[in-house]
Amino acid sequence: MSLTFISISERVVFILIRLLIGSWLLCALAWGQQVTSSWQEEVRRRTAAHDWTAALDIVDREVSRSPKDMDIRAWRARILQWSGRLKEAELEYQEILAAVPNDPDNWMGLAAVYSREGRNREALQALDRSVELDPKRADIRAARGAALRTLGAQNEARLEFSRAVDLDPTNVEGRAGLVSLRGEARHELRVGMNTDLFNFADANRDEGLTLISKWTSRWMTSVSAAGYDRGGIAAEKVVASLTGQVPRWGALTVGGAAAHDNGVIPKDEGFFDYDRGFKLHASSFIRGLEIVYGQHWYWYSTARILTINETTQFYLPRDWTWALGVTGARSHFSGTGAEWRPSGMTRIGFPIAKWEDHRLGGNIFFAVGTENFAQVDQIGEFSSQTYGSGLRFQLTARQGVTGFAAYQKRSQGRTESSFGFTYGIRF
């Protein structure tokens, strides 16, 4: 009896020990999953708030704990990319791919970095490798289609977008890509209205219609007609211009205007603009810049005006822009000498929201010493400060509405309030 009792007791103890060890292992595994989930959720919250420093600190802490975990390193690369630290993100992805060369997500991440740096052919090569590793991923096919479209390979891009939709009929990028390739829009029609309110005179109003046509990749024309109402005096003007563009050299625009002026707007105008853009691969903050230099001649019945202007626009991360402009105006009235007057402006543009094909963006601007050379009684007689803002709402891929409002403080206690809108459609 005693031997049997001892044997049964040992078996019971052994079973209890096994149960305790199993429970401990399950708890440890659940705790590890909870910790992993916890740090990833915290990183997602930080990145959603654009708190890149905090998100990167969390990931760096996890990397120090598991330096050979390439999934954590991939999180680090993505955060560096989202925060605009593109060179660091590129190096991180290259180190990850050296250790794990067959992960399509990391090749797609490297392609996204190359694309933001303007290295489009290298982005396509990275996406080619990603497609080789997983040819049935709709998101990779859509990304490759976008890269091909950027490089001008429209037919190949269309095929790739179609493959993405075939693999996943709900793929938004693939469907949007196919829509964007439904015949390139060559023309844009714009219609707009502006109103100026003064504390010292009757309101001014004008409306206009503009047709912009892109005939080839190098040649573009613009024709517009505008009507003015200046204190009950009507005037009309027609403007035409021609733009020629040469890759790596920029674009040159020349044009002129003729008007039925009635003494309130210029009788004739002539102008030219030279536009040149630059990509800055070495900078993670300024992705590119665009410089526009122009001269504009206004001939009134009683005055001649020449303006020389230069505007530089900086392209910043997350689709922000910053523009700085200076203008020198030479005014010459009948019976008086010529006089130069300087003016300047700055404008910041920023995105507000986007969903599907819709985009909403805004801008704020400030100008000092700016005069309105379109009206003869508003030149050479005052100094001013102008504050304003604008909105642009993209209704569809081919339609959009812009609006603005501005307030101008002038010398002698005079003020002007302006507002207007423009609707544009491409076809």
pLDDT for the residue 376 = 58
CA distance 344 to 309: 9
Could you read off the pLDDT of 67-99 as tens digits, one per residue? 888 989 999 999 998 888 999 999 999 999 999
The fold adopted by the segment(s) 42-180 is 1.25.40
pLDDT score at 390:
97
What is the C-alpha separation between 281 and 264, in angstroms, rounded? Answer: 48
- In one-letter notation, the amino acid at residue 65 is R
Return left, alpha or beta for 157; rule: phi > 0 is left, psi -120 to 50 is alpha, else beta.
Answer: alpha
| CATH architecture classification, 187-426 | Beta Barrel (2.40)
The CA distance from 111 to 94, in Å, is 11
Taking the C-alpha atoms of residue 238 and residue 261, their distance in angstroms, rounded to an integer, is 11
| The model scores a pTM over 0.95 | no
36-45, 107-116, 197-206: which has the minimum mean pLDDT?
36-45
For residues 323-338, average pLDDT: 85
Evaluate if residue 161 carries a pLDDT over 90: yes
Per DSSP, 317 falls in state G
- Beta-ladder partners of 364: 348, 389
Residue 282 confidence (pLDDT): 57
Give pLDDT, residue 378. 62
Q: What is the per-residue pLDDT for 281?
A: 66
Please give the Cα distance from 1 to 136 (Å, whole number): 69
Phi-psi region for residue 394, left (φ > 0), alpha (ψ -120 to 50) or beta? beta
Model confidence at 403: pLDDT above 90: yes
Domain with CATH 2.40.160.40 in the chain: 187-426
Residues belonging to the chain: 427
So what's the pLDDT on residue 1? 44
Structure tokens at 369: 């010493």
pLDDT in tens, 209-226: 999 999 988 999 999 999
State the span(s) of the chain assigned CATH 1.25.40.10.
42-180
Cβ of 397: how many Cβ atoms within 10 Å?
Answer: 16
Q: What is the pLDDT of residue 112?
A: 93
Closest-CA residue to 319 (of 347, 352, 345): 352
